[in-house]
Amino acid sequence: FMGLFDYESHYAVYESGAFYRKHVDALKGSQNRILTTVFFLNPHWQTDHGGELIIYDEDDSQLETVPPRMGTMAIFMSERFPHEVRESFATRISIAGWFRVSYATHGF
Protein backbone atom coordinates (compact mmCIF):
# COMPACT_ATOMS: atom_id res chain seq x y z
CA PHE A 1 0.00 0.00 0.00
CA MET A 2 3.00 2.31 0.34
CA GLY A 3 4.04 2.07 -3.33
CA LEU A 4 7.55 0.91 -2.46
CA PHE A 5 9.50 0.05 -5.59
CA ASP A 6 13.23 0.25 -4.98
CA TYR A 7 15.77 -0.11 -2.17
CA GLU A 8 19.14 1.61 -1.88
CA SER A 9 21.61 0.93 0.89
CA HIS A 10 25.13 1.55 2.05
CA TYR A 11 27.57 -0.09 4.40
CA ALA A 12 28.44 2.40 7.11
CA VAL A 13 31.55 2.22 9.28
CA TYR A 14 31.89 4.74 12.08
CA GLU A 15 35.38 4.74 13.56
CA SER A 16 35.88 5.71 17.19
CA GLY A 17 34.99 9.38 17.65
CA ALA A 18 32.56 9.46 14.70
CA PHE A 19 28.93 10.57 14.93
CA TYR A 20 26.18 11.87 12.64
CA ARG A 21 24.23 15.02 13.53
CA LYS A 22 20.43 15.07 13.66
CA HIS A 23 18.80 14.96 10.22
CA VAL A 24 15.93 13.48 8.21
CA ASP A 25 16.54 11.14 5.28
CA ALA A 26 14.07 12.78 2.88
CA LEU A 27 12.85 16.31 2.31
CA LYS A 28 9.20 16.92 3.23
CA GLY A 29 6.98 16.04 0.29
CA SER A 30 9.82 14.71 -1.87
CA GLN A 31 8.30 11.22 -1.97
CA ASN A 32 11.72 9.81 -2.74
CA ARG A 33 12.82 7.89 0.36
CA ILE A 34 9.83 6.47 2.20
CA LEU A 35 11.18 4.05 4.83
CA THR A 36 14.61 4.15 6.44
CA THR A 37 16.21 0.94 7.71
CA VAL A 38 19.30 0.55 9.86
CA PHE A 39 20.65 -2.95 10.51
CA PHE A 40 23.47 -3.27 13.04
CA LEU A 41 26.46 -5.62 12.62
CA ASN A 42 28.31 -5.26 15.94
CA PRO A 43 28.56 -8.67 17.67
CA HIS A 44 30.20 -7.62 20.96
CA TRP A 45 28.80 -4.12 21.45
CA GLN A 46 29.05 -2.72 24.99
CA THR A 47 26.97 0.12 26.46
CA ASP A 48 30.10 2.23 27.01
CA HIS A 49 30.88 2.06 23.27
CA GLY A 50 28.15 4.68 22.62
CA GLY A 51 27.06 4.96 18.97
CA GLU A 52 23.33 4.77 19.71
CA LEU A 53 20.79 5.69 17.06
CA ILE A 54 18.51 8.34 18.56
CA ILE A 55 15.10 8.77 16.90
CA TYR A 56 13.02 11.88 17.53
CA ASP A 57 9.34 12.54 16.97
CA GLU A 58 7.99 15.39 14.85
CA ASP A 59 7.99 17.69 17.90
CA ASP A 60 11.73 17.06 18.41
CA SER A 61 11.23 14.98 21.56
CA GLN A 62 13.44 11.92 21.89
CA LEU A 63 11.31 8.92 20.94
CA GLU A 64 13.70 5.97 20.97
CA THR A 65 17.31 5.06 21.74
CA VAL A 66 18.57 2.08 19.74
CA PRO A 67 21.87 0.49 20.80
CA PRO A 68 23.81 -0.77 17.76
CA ARG A 69 23.85 -4.44 18.80
CA MET A 70 24.28 -7.23 16.24
CA GLY A 71 21.00 -8.23 14.60
CA THR A 72 19.01 -5.18 15.74
CA MET A 73 17.10 -3.36 13.01
CA ALA A 74 15.37 0.02 13.19
CA ILE A 75 12.73 0.97 10.60
CA PHE A 76 11.02 4.36 10.45
CA MET A 77 9.44 6.84 8.05
CA SER A 78 12.25 8.71 6.27
CA GLU A 79 10.80 12.21 6.16
CA ARG A 80 8.89 12.05 9.42
CA PHE A 81 11.46 11.12 12.07
CA PRO A 82 14.68 13.10 12.62
CA HIS A 83 17.50 10.96 13.96
CA GLU A 84 21.17 11.05 14.84
CA VAL A 85 24.04 8.75 15.72
CA ARG A 86 25.72 9.53 19.01
CA GLU A 87 29.49 9.51 19.22
CA SER A 88 30.94 6.03 18.96
CA PHE A 89 33.86 4.95 21.15
CA ALA A 90 34.51 1.75 19.17
CA THR A 91 34.19 0.90 15.48
CA ARG A 92 30.45 0.78 14.71
CA ILE A 93 29.18 -1.03 11.61
CA SER A 94 25.72 -0.98 10.06
CA ILE A 95 23.84 -1.19 6.79
CA ALA A 96 21.62 1.84 6.30
CA GLY A 97 18.98 1.70 3.61
CA TRP A 98 15.96 3.39 2.14
CA PHE A 99 12.87 1.97 0.49
CA ARG A 100 11.87 4.28 -2.32
CA VAL A 101 8.87 4.79 -4.59
CA SER A 102 8.95 4.51 -8.35
CA TYR A 103 9.44 7.82 -10.14
CA ALA A 104 7.19 6.56 -12.97
CA THR A 105 4.20 5.90 -10.70
CA HIS A 106 4.52 9.22 -8.90
CA GLY A 107 5.13 11.50 -11.88
CA PHE A 108 8.79 12.30 -11.18
Give the pLDDT confidence of 12-69 residue by residue, as tens digits.
Answer: 999 999 999 999 998 666 668 889 999 999 999 999 999 999 999 989 999 999 999 9
* Whether pLDDT at 108 is above 50: no
Residue 87: the pLDDT is: 98
Q: How many domains does the chain have?
A: 1
Rounded to whole angstroms, the Cα distance separating 20 from 87 reads 8
Torsions phi, psi for 48 (to 5 deg) = -75, 0
Residue 68: the pLDDT is: 98
Rounded to whole angstroms, the Cα distance separating 6 from 98 reads 8
CATH code of 60's domain: 2.60.120.620
Residue 30: the pLDDT is: 67
Name the pTM for this structure.
0.88
* Whether pLDDT at 106 is above 60: no
What is the mean predicted confidence (pLDDT) over 3-20? 93
Domain that holds residue 36: 4-106
Residue 77: the pLDDT is: 93
Confidence tier at 104 by pLDDT (50, 70, 90): low
- Residue-wise DSSP of 46-74: -GGGB--EEEE-TTS-EEEEE---TT-EE
What is the mean predicted confidence (pLDDT) over 83-92? 98
